[in-house]
Amino acid sequence: MKKAVITAVGHYVPDNIITNKYFEERMDTTDEWITTRTGIRERRYAPDDMATSDMGVRAIEDCLKMRGIDKDEIDFIICATVTPDHVFPATACLIQHKLGMKHPKIWGFDISAACSGFIFALETARRLIESGGSKKAIVVGADKMTAIVDPLDRATCIIFGDGAGAVLLEASDDDTVGIIDSVLHVDGSGLPHLHMKAGGSVMPASHETVDQRLHYAYQEGQHVFKAAVKSMADATSDVMQRNNLTGNDVAWLVPHQANLRIIEATANRMELDIDRVMINIQRYGNTTAGTIPICLSEWQKEGKIKYGDNMIVAAFGGGFTYGAMFLKWGIK
């Protein structure tokens, strides 16, 4: 069986930096409250005329440049997002078209697993590659959270930002690197605590839903916080036990960037020093499906990751969805 190996990474974040001061000037909050509760100091906001697919396209271009291959070598694209350009068609289709990728060779689809979207998409792409049906896949996590976050909700708007990251996943005969294992879960009982109330088939858009601000992300912060801490730590510990790993064996924990305190709790449970945890939440906030590939791309570009490094990638998000993945880094 072929191995599925990440062979290139890329990312894109918009230029517009929104500091905590921006919120201090607009609502009853402080830089100190935001920093101590979340670890976030700034995030990026995409311009009005930039959609999720546009950020995804830029991240993929950055990724393909690293590997130096032509876009037409790609067999399929999986786009993880909860802020698709449209309810339908899939954002993967729009990315394919905007990149000018060869039709009819390429196929693809979107995955909706909120903040776990990137690892759900990566696991799906891994299985498709391991099956031997495809050789090269793009997995892109992209979210324009400013499209669905209520700018008047001080407990939510301070957390989220816009951004995208992408990886190239390739079939390889080298079985010393690549994606080794994953544990993924869904728990739909999480619905009441994190969701968007209107705009779906349960409550189609109407004047009333707009007037009542029901097209924004609704979040019960404390409940989500507790569920995230437990779920990310449990999934991480499961995948480590299954693969006989201790904290000493792990070069990097790559956690979804939701809240610095959630990240620290996960690292503690793994008995991992914080300097072996990828953390950039202070600069970008929570970009949902974008957080993990943006981290991977930044760390790779800064030369901090070595070929063969053991990594645990962990996420938690709306659904609830959560999981962890064990991989060995395959970029030289």
Active site residues per annotation: 115, 256, 286
Q: Which of residues 98-117 bind ligand COA (CB under 6 A)?
A: 115
- Looking at the Cβ atoms of 199 and 221, the one nearer to ligand COA is 221
Minimal CA–CA distance to 114: which of 272, 285, 315, 279?
A: 315
Residue 274 interacts with ligand COA (CB under 6 A)? no
Three-class secondary structure of residue 250 per DSSP: coil
Write down the least CB distance from residue 164 to ligand COA, Å.
Answer: 17
Write down the least CB distance from residue 178 to ligand COA, Å.
Answer: 27
Q: Which of residues 277-306 bind ligand COA (CB under 6 A)?
A: 286
Measured CA to CA in angstroms, residue 69 lies from 66, 119, 136, 262 at distances of 8, 24, 11, 37
Q: Which of residues 25-64 bind ligand COA (CB under 6 A)?
A: 29, 33-34, 37-38
Residue 221 interacts with ligand COA (CB under 6 A)? yes
Residue 317 interacts with ligand COA (CB under 6 A)? yes
Distance CA 113, CA 309 (A): 27
The DSSP symbol for 192 reads G
Three-class secondary structure of residue 5 per DSSP: strand
Residue 182 interacts with ligand COA (CB under 6 A)? no
Element (H, E) at 291: helix 291-301
Which of 258, 267, 296, 324 contacts ligand COA by CB under 6 A? 258
Residue 158 interacts with ligand COA (CB under 6 A)? yes
Minimal CA–CA distance to 13: which of 308, 285, 325, 304?
A: 285
Residue 22 interacts with ligand COA (CB under 6 A)? no
End-to-end CA distance of the chain: give it in Å, rounded: 22
Q: Residue count at the site for ligand COA (CB under 6 A)?
A: 20
From 61-69, 175-183, 224-232, 233-241, span contacting ligand COA (CB under 6 A): 224-232
Residue 82 interacts with ligand COA (CB under 6 A)? no
Copy the structure tokens of residue 274.
């914080």
Neighbours of 37 (CB within 10 A): 17
Half-sphere exposure of 297 (CA within 13 A, CB side): 29
Copy the structure tokens of residue 294.
């943006």
Instruction: Summarize as ranges the residues that interact with ligand COA (CB under 6 A).
Output: 29, 33-34, 37-38, 115, 154-155, 158, 219, 221-222, 224-225, 228, 258-259, 286, 316-317
